[in-house]
């Protein structure tokens, strides 16, 4: 306790120097935390909010061959393999049966190709909470031919809620089909990049267009409460299903190989249904690539800043020791042992580091809050990637803050150790004599 007080007193004694060193640490840490928060925020907003619109964290498709040996995808509600998902995923939030197809929406001479996602609005209450309607409303059971389109698409096709437009697609066997649909609602672009990617329709109605039974679907989407590591979890589920004797499409580690396998599946012959599992990382990889890029950037920034901090800490301590040689010599002459002296010097540096870290966390939080409060106009640019409801998504994960502070503290300790030990080893007589 006595030595801790001494360290504290020493820190306060050299206010300017301590402030500068702590300030450098605070600045470095806040930059690292902000860049990481941007990457983590992007991934978090994507996994927990935006992805829900387009895809589950794990998606199961069931491929079978029709009487003409053409491959079709279909999974019924009582599918036994899909039911095994309830058994396997202990953190299952919900399961949604969806039908997806490529389609073209046509209004006069204007046309746009889009992914059409058939949902059951009674089941997808989470989707209702997630979507922000710019105009019109969410789908209800009554809107048999209703569709929800993005604000961007509505602008391009020049349509408003209540308008009737054409939806062209193909049946699952490949026959051309077209029908009239009614625009029920327009989804706000404020939801971020995912809001532009699909058109939502009633699953039963889309099924009739695809000429498959009304109650069936083409995909099962598993939403998990802990969606991180969806790729590994899909692999684990695949292994689990394999153990249960479920016929599966191979799942090699290389994702491009998987696509090749699916592309050539129609050339193979088999009976019954073969299940294909994909993860969010596989289906929408660019978000994960961007998040990794940001975290990688944060890591590089951290390495550079840590280097600067370490050199600064080492030099500061050397300077402190040089200036306090007489004092150190006197303390040693008065009987202070080496280890308490070492402890005092190290504690002094660690105190400055912790003060800097606390300030850094504070700066990052304030800056984060300021960035979050800015309302951006979704201009469909690269920035959209980071926006959710027109605001930047930043996530300060406590584990990341703790690990970064811990890393800095340990490294400062290492950088301080050698000069502190050298000071502790000083001969008291020589130390006093050198100053004299």
Partner 1 sequence: MKKNLINIAVLLISGLTWLNAQSPDPQEILAAVDRNLNFETDFSCRFTMVTYRAGETPETQEMTLFSRPESVGGEEKFLAIVIKPDVDKGTGYLMQGENFWIYDPESRRFSHSTARDSVQDSDVNNDDLGTANFVEDYRIMGMTEGMLGKIDCWILDLEAKTESVDYNRIKVWVGKQELIPYKEEDYSLTGTLMRTVLAPKWSLIEGKYIYRQVFFKDELREGNRTVLVFDQVSLNSLPNHLFTKAYLEESSR
Residues contributing to the site for partner 1 (CB under 8 A): 68-70, 106, 108-109, 111, 166, 168, 170-171, 173-179, 209, 211, 263-264, 266-267
DSSP helix/strand/coil, 62: strand
Nearer to partner 1, 177 or 390 (CB): 177
CA atoms within 13 Å, Cβ hemisphere of 416: 25
The Cβ of residue 336 has, within 10 Å, a number of other Cβ atoms equal to 17
> Min. distance of Cβ 266 from partner 1 in angstroms?
7
Nearer to partner 1, 173 or 239 (CB): 173
Nearer to partner 1, 78 or 267 (CB): 267
**In Å, what is the CA distance from 281 to each residue of 23, 97, 168, 329, 386?**
39, 20, 30, 62, 17
Residue recorded with tokens 């009737």 = 164
Whether 78 and 254 have beta carbons less than 8 Å apart is answered as no
> Min. distance of Cβ 127 from partner 1 in angstroms?
27
Q: What are the structure tokens assigned to 358, written together?
A: 């606390």
Q: Which of 347, 357, 346 is nearest to 309 (CA)?
A: 357
Whether 305 and 31 have beta carbons less than 8 Å apart is answered as yes
DSSP string for 348-394: HHHHHHHHHHHHHHHHHHHHHHHHHHPPPP--SSGGGGGEETTEE--
Nearer to partner 1, 125 or 211 (CB): 211
Nearer to partner 1, 47 or 105 (CB): 105
Whether 360 and 17 have beta carbons less than 8 Å apart is answered as no
Nearer to partner 1, 28 or 118 (CB): 118
Nearer to partner 1, 260 or 323 (CB): 260
> Min. distance of Cβ 293 from partner 1 in angstroms?
23
Nearer to partner 1, 171 or 390 (CB): 171
Quote the CA–CA distance of 181 and 145 in Å, as a whole number: 5
Q: Please, is 187 exposed, middle or buried when counting C-beta atoms within 10 Å of its C-beta (0-12, 13-18, 19+)?
A: buried
- Residue 170's DSSP bridge partners are 176
> Min. distance of Cβ 157 from partner 1 in angstroms?
12
> Min. distance of Cβ 263 from partner 1 in angstroms?
4
Centroid of chain to Cα 429: 60
> Min. distance of Cβ 25 from partner 1 in angstroms?
48
> Min. distance of Cβ 104 from partner 1 in angstroms?
9
> Min. distance of Cβ 259 from partner 1 in angstroms?
10
């Amino acid at each position: 306790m006595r030595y801790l007080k001494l360290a504290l007193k020493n820190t306060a004694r050299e206010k300017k120097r301590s402030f500068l060193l702590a300030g450098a640490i605070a600045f470095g840490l806040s930059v690292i935390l902000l860049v990481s928060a941007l990457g983590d925020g992007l991934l978090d907003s994507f996994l927990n909010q935006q992805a829900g619109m387009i895809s589950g964290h794990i998606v199961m498709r069931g491929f079978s061959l029709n009487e003409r040996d053409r491959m079709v995808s279909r999974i019924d509600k009582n599918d036994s393999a899909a039911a095994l998902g309830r058994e396997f995923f202990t953190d299952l939030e919900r399961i949604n049966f969806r039908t997806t197809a490529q389609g073209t929406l046509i209004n006069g001479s204007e046309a746009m190709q889009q992914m059409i996602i058939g949902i059951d609005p009674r089941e997808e209450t989470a989707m209702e909470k997630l979507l922000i309607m710019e105009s019109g409303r969410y789908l209800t059971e009554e809107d048999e031919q209703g569709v929800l389109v993005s604000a961007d698409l509505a602008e391009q096709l020049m349509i408003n809620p209540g308008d009737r437009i054409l939806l062209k697609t193909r049946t699952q066997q490949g026959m051309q089909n077209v029908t009239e649909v009614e625009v029920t609602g327009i989804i706000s672009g404020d939801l971020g990049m995912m809001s532009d990617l699909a058109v939502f329709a009633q699953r039963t109605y889309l099924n009739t267009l695809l000429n498959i039974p009304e109650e069936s679907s083409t995909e099962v989407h598993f939403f998990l409460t802990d969606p991180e590591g969806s790729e590994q979890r899909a692999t684990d589920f695949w292994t689990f299903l394999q153990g249960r004797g479920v016929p599966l499409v191979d799942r090699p580690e290389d994702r491009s190989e998987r696509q090749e396998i699916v592309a050539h599946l129609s050339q193979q012959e088999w009976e019954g249904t073969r299940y294909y599992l994909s993860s969010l990382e596989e289906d929408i990889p660019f978000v994960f690539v961007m998040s990794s890029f940001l975290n990688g950037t944060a890591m590089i920034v951290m390495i550079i800043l840590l280097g600067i901090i370490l050199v600064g800490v080492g030099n500061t301590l050397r300077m402190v020791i040089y200036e306090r040689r007489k004092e150190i010599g006197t303390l040693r002459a008065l009987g202070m042992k080496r280890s308490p002296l070492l402890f005092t010097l190290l504690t002094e540096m660690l105190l400055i580091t912790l003060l800097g870290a606390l300030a850094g966390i504070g700066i990052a939080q304030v800056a984060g809050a300021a960035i979050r409060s800015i309302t951006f106009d979704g201009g469909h640019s690269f920035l959209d990637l980071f926006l959710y409801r027109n605001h930047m998504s930043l996530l300060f994960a406590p584990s990341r803050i703790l690990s970064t502070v811990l890393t800095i503290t340990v490294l400062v300790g290492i950088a301080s150790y050698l000069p502190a030990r050298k000071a502790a080893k000083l001969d008291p007589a020589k130390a006093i004599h050198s100053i004299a």
